[in-house]
Structure 1
């Protein structure tokens, strides 16, 4: 997988590269991951902080939760892209390996994707640890700001 190996070449800070690597390996400390490592949660505590419908795992928080899907909708509209949301981060990254972007535009798109995933993670943490409520549009503007360097 080209994307998988290009993480280390992305023009993003190393902490984002490490985050992406851990996300691909399903090793981000989400509630389901922590539970599998012996951290005890009640069934209600395992649920997604945004939708409360399913257990919080990496793919759900970063891709398939209705909240994160809304954020991705803004990002994709910004880039003029339509897509079908993949069910896993591996599928997500595989989908972009064969995209029709070329050269600098492709590299730019990968930066936007990395920034989007990172921003969703940061916002999730703000929600969990500081009870901060975010709007999808606020996150989109954060993504635009962080990816425009």
Structure 2
């Protein structure tokens, strides 16, 4: 990466650094925008970091651990939430039927429709491409980060503590976490956590 950038800078001669940055952003496309949005949300760093891991395909799923020899052949690599498919990143965070219902509830909460993305990267590319007002965007950017982290936390509770996953509870929990971080950290947010959870449509209409 550094070698590529240095070649670009040299080829552009004395053009300003901002010109190089704009060229590089155009060359890289959505990747830079996704990374920027992940790290600039008002969620805790642990959520941001997990979002980055999911985006880059570095989450330690059972499939991954089996491939690198951490899990032997006798250990199940099926999704611990549905037990119907191998636990890949895309499956456990998106395609698991139980998880997908939660995603659908969240998208419907925003009054939107979509089709299931193939990967987490596809999900985030779509997410950053939605056109919204400035403060709506701040709230919208919280949704995938909080959801990805919450699903993985639920998965770990099942794997390590044997706690049965409650997906109805997960919907309410994700909405409440989104509302809490928006209320606590977005400057000018005049609505309560309850307002955001229950009356999101009305809140969005009033956001600038």
Q: TM-score, normalised by structure 1?
A: 0.93
CA contact (8 A) 2:124 2:144 kept: no
- SS of aligned partner of 1:15: helix
Among 149, 152, 155, the residue aligned to 1:121: 152
Q: Distance in 1 between matches of 2:54 and 2:132?
A: 24
1:85 aligned partner:
116
Larger gyration radius, structure 1 or structure 2: 2
Answer yes or no: is 1:111 the counterpart of 2:142.
Answer: yes
Q: Aligned to 2:48, what secondary structure does the other structure show?
A: helix
- Which secondary structure state, in structure 2, belongs to the residue aligned with residue 18 of structure 1? helix
Partner of 2:27: none
Q: How many residues align?
A: 149
Deviation at residue 36 of structure 1 after TM alignment: 2.1
* TM-align CA RMSD: 1.4
The answer to which of 74-83 and 118-127 deviates more is: 74-83
Q: Deviations over 1:89-145 (max 9, x none)?
A: 110011122212221112211102211111101001111111111222100111011
**Structure-2-length-normalised TM-score:** 0.68
Runs of at least 5 residues in structure 1 that lack an aligned partner in the other structure: none
Q: Is 1:21 aligned to residue 15 of structure 2?
A: no
Paired residue secondary structure (2:92): helix
Could you list the structure 1 runs, at least 4 aligned residues long, displaced by more than 3 angstroms after superposition: 41-44
Task: Kindly indicate whether residue 107 of structure 2 is the aligned counterpart of residue 71 of structure 1.
Answer: no
Pick aligned residue for 1:98 from 129, 137, 146: 129
Q: Higher relative CO (CA 8 A, sep ≥ 6), structure 1 or 2?
A: 1
Query: Does the 8 Å contact 2:62/2:71 carry over to 1?
Result: no
Partner of 1:37: 68
Aligned pair in 2 of structure 1 residues 42, 148: CA closer, same or farther (>3 Å)? Answer: same
1:144 corresponds to which residue? 175
